[in-house]
Amino acid sequence: MESVVRTIYAAHLYNCLALRRPFTVLPNSTLNQKFNLFKDEIPASNEYPVLGYVAIGNKGARYEVTSDNFVLTMPIPHLPRHASLYNFIPFLVRNINNDISSTERLKYRLRVPLTINGVTYVAYYLRALNINSVIPTVELRNVSGDNITTSSFTPTLSDLSPTPPQLNNNNLNTVDGDYLVSTSKVDFVLNQQEVQEIIDACNILYGDPRYAVINEIAICSGIDRILQGNFGNTTSNYTEVIAAQVAAFISQYHALTTNTMEVRLHLDIGSVEPLLI
């Protein structure tokens, strides 16, 4: 169960970057506004957000119990105009007086204070992706039914002197064929401890660890800034994200209480263009 929906906010960012025009943050589009966290911080005229963050949610699917007691799962799609997951769940929740260390905090963004039953906590809603070693490549993928074969793509000399293709009017609605893909592959892994942190966070938020189901994922863009936060009784600088926007939605399904060892996601950040045959 996987589908990918790219947002208009990612397209807007790409256009600004491609034209070297200042990036303008559209109103009602940032996760900073949603979580009321440094929502008035804006990029400088020469700053551009980077794809480098992941968010998770638990309302990206609907369930149907059949007459013979099977539970059927159906993803709830997002639209390109959507600026948020249907319901975020945090990667971890801490009592504000028992926060994670500054070193551990470098893995997380969107540090949001919240109060539950009179107790003040902080929840971390974004994980930073390790993109330092990511190398964008171009692939040629052939789709034939359920089979997908992939090979590296290199333009040929004839691509500099193209001839019109012979178009096939049959099977215009088929998804079979060749696709060119500009791809950047990133592995995102939640280890056993990190899975348990999400389960514990959902138990604090909802009173039941079974809410720890990942069925919607957001790949997000943003800009890191050194800002001031409240850490118990002190105010300190830390790394936070501004102008955070959802670039793409991914539908997957991971019930963490039944899979507590590891969750491994192979994220493919790129674009797909069909080739006419």
Within 4-84, strands assigned E span 4-6, 50-57, 61-65, 71-75
Predicted pLDDT of residue 170: 61
Portion of the chain with pLDDT greater than 90, in percent: 63
Predicted pLDDT of residue 177: 76
The pLDDT of 238-258, averaged and rounded, is 94
pLDDT band for 1, please (50, 70, 90 cuts). Answer: very low
Predicted pLDDT of residue 275: 57
Predicted pLDDT of residue 270: 67
pLDDT in tens, 62-103: 988 898 888 888 999 999 999 999 999 999 999 999 999 999
pLDDT in tens, 116-144: 999 999 999 999 998 887 888 898 888 88
**Contact, 90 vs 127, CB < 8 A?**
no
Predicted pLDDT of residue 212: 96
pLDDT in tens, 26-73: 999 999 999 999 999 999 988 999 999 999 999 999 988 898 888 888
Q: Is 225's pLDDT higher than 90?
A: yes
Between the alpha carbon of residue 122 and those of residues 100, 156, 188, 192, 198, the distances in Å are 10, 54, 23, 21, 13
The pLDDT of 215-243, averaged and rounded, is 94
- Give the count of alpha carbons within 13 A of 8, CB side only: 11
Predicted pLDDT of residue 274: 53
- Interatomic CA distance for residues 207 and 2, integer angstroms: 29
pLDDT band for 276, please (50, 70, 90 cuts). Answer: very low
- Confidence (pTM): 0.88
- Interatomic CA distance for residues 213 and 207, integer angstroms: 14
Predicted pLDDT of residue 236: 92
Predicted pLDDT of residue 85: 98
Predicted pLDDT of residue 277: 39
